Amino acid sequence: MQENLGHQSIAKAFVEARKAASILHSYPGDIPQSMDDGYAIQDIAIALDGRQIGGWKVGRVPPNHVEKFAAERLSGPIFVDEIAYESDGDGPEMPIFDDGFAAAEAEVLLRLGSVPDGEFNIDTIGQYIDDVRVGIEIASSPFTGINGYGPAVTVSDFGNNKGIVLGASIPGWRDADLLAMPVSLDIDGETVGSNNMGEMLDGPFGSVVFLLELLKKRNIVITPGIWVSAGAITGVHDVASGQTVKAKFGDDLEAACKLVAI
């Protein structure tokens, strides 16, 4: 009972800080020591927040934490009102906690057109996906040290997500060699990272498999139409309000946004 009360208090602190745009300089409770604890806090926070979920982000657990936390990936919700669509020019404005933690990541976004009702794996999950787009994840939290205390802490504050930018669909993505597609991220016109999806753990389809298995374990209903932000391709890049972020994929696909302080 005492542990559940602790989870409730932490979840409430994060939800209130996000709504008030107030900064947390220390973790609001005992540091969660397992992924189960982190997700328990996240589940409470989702219920307290009350907004509709339109997708889920997937991220990598740093190698030095994999053994302790028995996990290679983590996840958090993406709320419908924090999903933006890329437009011409600098793209949509994306709010960040300027005095908290803020980063941008080049990612591919996959949409579930239907939900598997039986067994699935990395080779079969593609049949349930009906769109793959280029995009950007905004990772931002009111807790300044969110990435400094292990993945369970990251998970406890919505997986450190503050929205996604959906760019254009990748033409012919079912037949394209997605893993070989070059990807780069620019901040204010300067390239800060480049890579390809082949360097991701199991690639973007592996992220979808992980997420569906995790949500099933947590008894969270999976509905068609949800987006999966599959993980950072070029790295996690610190950002500040006023900056313009542009993710480039292949020869002519890109997504952009302008960062603004909450």
pLDDT at 90: 66
pLDDT at 1: 36
pLDDT at 5: 67
The mean pLDDT of 116-143, rounded to a whole number, is 96
**Token pair 């057109």 is at which residue?**
113
Query: Strands, DSSP E only, in the chain?
Result: 53-60, 73-79, 83-85, 93-96, 101-112, 129-141, 164-169, 182-187, 190-196, 227-229, 237-238, 244-249, 253-261
Do residues 14 and 143 lie in contact, with contact meaning Cβ atoms separated by under 8 Å?
A: yes
pLDDT at 80: 97
pLDDT band of residue 6 (cuts 50, 70, 90) is very high
pLDDT at 89: 62
The mean pLDDT of 114-142, rounded to a whole number, is 96
Helix (H) or strand (E) holding 35: helix 35-49
Domain over 2-261 is classified CATH 3.40.640.10 = no
The mean pLDDT of 40-65, rounded to a whole number, is 97
Strand 164-169 relative to strand 83-85: parallel, antiparallel, unpaired?
parallel
| Residue 90: C-alpha distances to residues 51, 170, 186, 246 (Å) | 27, 20, 12, 8
Do residues 236 and 103 lie in contact, with contact meaning Cβ atoms separated by under 8 Å?
A: yes
Residue 2 has pLDDT above 50, yes or no: no
CA 212 to chain centre: 15
pLDDT, tens only, 167-196:
999 999 999 899 999 999 999 999 999 999
pLDDT, tens only, 186-230:
999 999 999 999 888 888 999 999 999 999 999 999 999 999 999
The mean pLDDT of 113-142, rounded to a whole number, is 96
**Token pair 């927040």 is at which residue?**
49
